[in-house]
Amino acid sequence: MDRLKIATAWMGGCSGCHMSFLDLDEWLFDLAAAVDVVYSPVIDVKVYPRGVDVCLIEGAVANEDNLELLLQIRERTRILVAFGDCAVTGNVTAMRNPLGNADPVLNRAYLRPEDLHPRLPAEPGILPALLPRVLPIQEAVPVDYYIPGCPPPAARIRAILQQLVAGQVPTQTGADLTYG
Amino acid sequence: MAAKTLTIDGRLISAAEDQTVLQAAKDAGIQIPTLCHLEGLSDIGACRLCVVEVAGSNKLLPACVTRIAEGMQVRTDTERLRHYRRMVLELLFAERNHVCAVCVANGHCELQALALALGMDHVRFEYRFPKYSVDITHHSFGIDHNRCILCTRCVRVCWYIEGAGTKNVAGRGAECRIITDLNQSWGTSETCTSCGKCVQACPTGALFKRGSAVAEMERDRTRLEFIVNAREKKQWIV
Ligand code: SF4
Ligand code: SF4
Ligand code: FES
């Protein structure tokens, strides 16, 4: 059988899920021996490749770049895993949703009276615009599996990856489904 | 009191005739998930997590407000029940804003615990993300409506255990919410005795002690249990 092509992506999240992934320490050597990591914030690849088997997505869909990349990932990936609470529920990233759109948080962060020249960041083509509503991954594209947790503990990530690498349907029960 | 016999999950059980299916199951060591039920408070059947199947009825019946009957055949754990319980849970999560990672009740929350007990790996409904307020005008306690599931445990404990009648329910449907007295800020209440029973009764992070940070809101139900025992069983000494 061909080696599994695995990717990870980082959207609107704090990177804590990826930190937890790196927390797998020496097991990462075993993983690297069994699969090819073809796209990830921790490797230097700019374009999401075609024919990816599994992609773990950290973070919610918060800006236009997130959405564009997510649609591309879904199209080019067999198994998509929502990775962590922000991906699964929106979590902290989506806490601005009840405010209506992105303006209140942008204004609060950039138009502060104590700043000398307050202005909203605007760099078209460089800085992606925030979406009016932050989406959990499954509200934007179909998702195959979910790993809740903020962040998911390393052991939980390992259990899912082991099952996927072995070609099994990942099953999680009990404490492996803890949010927060 | 006369006893009745019934079967729960195929087991023959005899129970006092005034018991509910939930009590009879509990006495027989059969766990049914609950959320609005709290030992010592009258049940109102609000959350529907405790639904069971009863032979001869097409409807699912809430175990906490269904009396047992002679010859009743009850099932507490079927595919159909799991399907609806999970749906109820997902609707509760989609209805308001639950962010466990930054919640005072993280790790001590009955809603969060049920999510893992019932295998809720995600919510299939669109989240509503409604806008709700937090009232921290009381000197000791606060209420965060974002986390409230409208179980009304706080209302019942306030009316029937403390006898203050401060907490109430107002509005209908999506507008439904817990209010203080005549819909005023908690700090201005003249009826609230600041006993904190509502805070101890709440299953989620909605009611909390002021100053609690993430995951710090642990409940102590022993005071409630003590009062209920004293009243119902006349046992005054712990
Ligand atoms: S109330 Fe419970 S379910 Fe809701 S955010 Fe807090 S811990 Fe999570
Ligand atoms: S504040 Fe707590 S106890 Fe009161 S209805 Fe809401 S969830 Fe239930
Ligand atoms: S526990 Fe029976 S309906 Fe809530």
Q: What CATH number does residue B185 fall under? A: 3.30.70.20
Domains defined along chain A, listed by start? 4-97+132-177 (3.40.50.700)
Q: Are strands A130-135 and A61-63 parallel, antiparallel or unpaired?
A: antiparallel
Q: What CATH number does residue B23 fall under? A: 3.10.20.740
Q: Are strands B167-170 and B51-54 parallel, antiparallel or unpaired?
A: unpaired
B71 and B144 assigned to the same domain: no
Percent of chain B at pLDDT > 70 equals 99
**Final residue of a domain: which of B77, B99, B133?**
B77
State if residue B45 touches ligand 3 by the CB under 6 angstroms criterion: yes
Q: Which helix (H) or strand (E) holds A28?
A: helix A27-34
**Residue B136 belongs to domain spanning:** 84-232
B22 and B97 assigned to the same domain: no
In a domain, B237, yes or no: no
Q: Give the separation between CA B32 and CA B30, rounded to whole angstroms.
A: 7
B142 and B24 assigned to the same domain: no
Q: What is the pLDDT of residues A39-74, one digit of tens each?
A: 999 999 999 999 999 999 999 999 999 999 999 999
B88 and B72 assigned to the same domain: no
Mutate-to-test residue for ligand 1 from B49, B90, B147, highest number of ligand atoms within 8 A of CB: B147
Q: What is the pLDDT of residues A156-165, one digit of tens each?
A: 999 999 999 9
User: Which ligand number lies closest to the CA of residue B152?
Assistant: 2
Measured from the Cβ of residue B131, the count of other Cβ atoms closer than 10 Å reads: 12
Contacts of B107 in chain A (CB under 8 A): 180
B205 and B135 assigned to the same domain: yes
Q: Give the separation between CA B227 and CA B40, rounded to whole angstroms.
A: 9
Q: What is the pLDDT of residues B73-130, one digit of tens each?
A: 999 999 999 999 999 999 999 999 999 999 999 999 999 999 999 999 999 999 999 9
Interface contact flag, B101 A175, Cβ < 8 Å? no
- Measured between CA atoms, the residue of chain A closest to residue B93 is A89
In a domain, B238, yes or no: no
B113 and B58 assigned to the same domain: no
Count CA atoms closer than 13 A to B206's CA, side-chain side: 24
Using CA atoms of A158, A164, A170, A175 in order, give the dihedral in degrees to the nearest 10: 0
**Final residue of a domain: which of B33, B61, B77?**
B77
State if residue B154 touches ligand 2 by the CB under 6 angstroms criterion: yes
Q: CA of A176, closest CA in chain B: separation in Å?
A: 8
Tokens matching residue A135:
């989406």
Percent of chain A at pLDDT > 70 equals 99
Q: Give the separation between CA B31 and CA B52, rounded to whole angstroms.
A: 12
Contacts of A94 in chain B (CB under 8 A): 127, 129
Query: Contact at 8 Å (CB) between B107 and A180?
Result: yes
Dihedral sign computed on CA atoms, order B227, B231, B236, B238: negative
**Final residue of a domain: which of B14, B44, B77?**
B77
B183 and B221 assigned to the same domain: yes
Q: Give the separation between CA A178 and CA B121, rounded to whole angstroms.
A: 9
Ligand 1, atom 4, residue with closest C-alpha: B98
Tell how far the Cα of A147 is from the centroid of ligand 3, in angstroms: 29
| ipTM entry | 0.93
In a domain, B125, yes or no: yes
For chain A, the average pLDDT equals 95
Comparing CB atoms, the residue among B101, B126, B129 nearest residue A150 is B101
Interface contact flag, A91 B120, Cβ < 8 Å? no
B130 and B224 assigned to the same domain: yes
Query: pLDDT band for position B238 (50/70/90)?
Result: low
B117 and B181 assigned to the same domain: yes
Q: Which atom of ligand 1 is nearest to the CA of B109?
A: 2
B97 and B72 assigned to the same domain: no
Measured from the Cβ of residue B22, the count of other Cβ atoms closer than 10 Å reads: 22
B46 and B93 assigned to the same domain: no
Query: pLDDT band for position A143 (50/70/90)?
Result: very high
B63 and B29 assigned to the same domain: yes
In a domain, B141, yes or no: yes
**What is the predicted pLDDT for the residue at A1?**
57
Number of domains in chain B: 2
